[in-house]
Chain A
Amino acid sequence: MNHAAAAPATPAGSAGPPRRLRLPFMRGYYWLLIGLLYLPIVLLFIFSINANTTLSFPLKGFTVAWYEKLFATPALLNAVVNSLIVAVSSSIAATAFGSMVAILLSRFNFRGRKALTGLAMLPLIIPYVVLAVALLILFRAFGVSLSLVTVAIAHVVVALPYTTLIVLARLIGFDNQLEEAAMDLGATYPATLRLIVLPIAAPAIVSAWITAFTVSFDEFALALFLAGKDPTFPVYLYGQLRFATTLPVLIAAAVLLMAGTMTLIVVANRVRSR
């Protein structure tokens, strides 16, 4: 039961050393919360393999028709591909920029570091709706028509604080002795970055990339304003929510995408822990 109870009793006496909250209670609470968190998702999953055309009880029986129909809906597939394009490109850019900021903040002393920190963290503090309309004004003012590119730009901005923080946390945890040694031995700084700093930061860079990818892939509040005519998956989904009969297909698509995201995360976790 109490894994620490095996330790010799402390002077405090009977209850065992870690006199913290009781384990069974905590574990029960955890599982209760997990149950509540999964209930709506399980519900969605059930409706994705259920023959009802509308999302209402009672259930009518098992079907994979929605999954078949999904692959016969070009608009939906197109939206998924759009989301992939936006997420891949914006996450790569956000990771590159975030890593640069992280290297600057962890390895350089310079005037204006506080300003750079504030600037890089600012997107965390700006409400999405405000950033969305501000970017809308920018693009309108300069005659940039809305497209997947404008969505990707917004996603780079909002993902940047996350990628910066993730890489920064890793770099702060490492001394720069290796870098100093490399440079004492005649390596140029770019070579030192490539051969020492990037390998050190690599696991964090992978995490940062995944985080940026997932932030972008599911992002809706910015995309709704900035997507123009070619929708990303969440924007497409939103447009279809009014039509009750397409809901099961949409849910089936979302279930597949969730499986895809989770696979990505699990695989990346494996890669990182190597």
Chain B
Amino acid sequence: MTASADQLPRAPGPPTRRGGGSDPRRSSFWLLLSPPALVLGLFLIVPVLLMIAVSFRADISGQLLAPFTPTLKQFAQAFAGAGYWRVLGISALTAFGVAVIAVLTAYPVAYFLAFRAGKRASLYLILLLVPFWTSYLLRVMAWKLMLGEQGVVNEVLMGAGLIDEPLDALLYNRGAVVVTLVYVWIPFAALPILAGLGRIDVRLHEAAADLYGSPVQVFRRVTLPLSLPGVVAAFLMVFIPTVGEYVTPLLVGGTGGTMYGNLIQDFFTRAANWPLGSALSIIMLTVTLGLVIVGLRIVDPRRLLEPAS
């Protein structure tokens, strides 16, 4: 199959002399391919395959590599437990909500940086990214300070006379998880959107305006559609890590904020049920991959890599 040539806008390099052995780059090809392929094979593919194998085990007594009779027990348990599905659904919804809010919040900022910030754009961009370079754990911790009983929000509300006693319902629930994650992801979400907007030919705006497009029309019919690959990329870049998130719920979620990642983490630590944990991991992996494939069907973020026209 020679379909490879049409995947990148330009397929540079001399014509492939496949099998001929006359390409002087042939030996380099293998030298370039082997190390990364080996690393990814050994530390990505093999572990996932092993995890699949473990999920078909009844238990993990004895060696992990020892032969065993495959059983669907773990999946039966994972599918039967309504609680697992509920948590998976809630995790997906939480991630969806976080991703949508983060993208919507970041979009105007990316727009500002792309078209309106002028010469200072790169300075503004760095300013936006600094929070992202701050310790993740501490940023989550900071929200404990914000939302806690003696936290900033309570102090401000009490100071303003809006409440008499501190609200204790701000922390340790789903809302706290969503707020914290949105906060964590906003700078990150702005990057792909900015990349998408940066590829738009400004002359299109001018042309649209010349053709009597109102600002809203120009945005809706020119800017927004052209920026969609970046928006989808941003959505996925927030959504995917958030579905599997277990750290933030651990710190600010309390019992009400548990996510699917916490279940998996539990089965591999305290509960020590690796086979069931593996089955849950595979379910989560499948769901995530499915959603990503659907996302890529809608808009292909790979277009962000193509040279701007």
Contact = CB atoms under 8 A, between A and B. Distances in A.
Given A10-B206, A214-B133, A97 B51 contact: no
A33 interface: yes
Contacts of A141: 50, 63-65
A241 interface: yes
A61 B39 CA distance: 52
Interface in A101-122: 101, 103-111, 113-114, 116-117, 119-120, 122
A165 interface: yes
B135 A128 contact: no
Contacts, number: 287
B35 A11 contact: no
A20 B240 contact: no
Overall SS of chain B's interface: helix
Contacts of A258: 130, 133-135
B214 A19 contact: yes
Given A96-B35, A157-B39, A257-B135, A19 B205 contact: yes
Contacts of A44: 138, 141-142, 145
Contacts of B124: 30
A129 B264 contact: yes
Interface residues of B, number: 110
A146 B131 CA distance: 31
Contacts of B202: 18
A27 B112 CA distance: 7
A18 B115 contact: yes
B289 interface: yes
A138 B116 CA distance: 50
Given A26-B116, A57-B150, A127-B285, A33 B105 contact: yes
Interface residues of A, number: 106
A29 interface: yes
B268 A225 contact: yes
B209 A30 contact: no
B244 A30 contact: no
Interface in A189-209: 189-190, 193
B44 interface: yes
Given A56-B150, A141-B50, A265 B210 contact: no
B7 to A, nearest CB: 7
Nearest to A112: B4
Contacts of A66: none
Contacts of B268: 133, 136, 225
Contacts of A274: none
A75 interface: no
A40 B143 contact: yes
B58 interface: no
Interface string B274-299: 10011001001100110010000000
11 contacts: A10-B209, A23-B116, A26-B116, A96-B35, A103-B32, A128-B244, A131-B47, A141-B50, A169-B305, A220-B137, A265-B133
Task: Report, nearest first, the 8 A-B pairs whose CB atoms are least far apart.
Answer: A127-B244, A40-B142, A134-B47, A176-B12, A141-B64, A97-B36, A138-B47, A19-B215
Interface of A: 3, 10-12, 15, 17-21, 23, 26-27, 29-30, 33-34, 36-41, 43-44, 47, 55-57, 93, 96-98, 100-101, 103-111, 113-114, 116-117, 119-120, 122-131, 133-138, 140-142, 153-154, 156-157, 160, 165, 168-169, 172-173, 175-176, 180, 183, 188-190, 193, 214, 218, 220-221, 224-225, 234, 237-238, 241, 247, 250-251, 254, 257-258, 261-262, 265
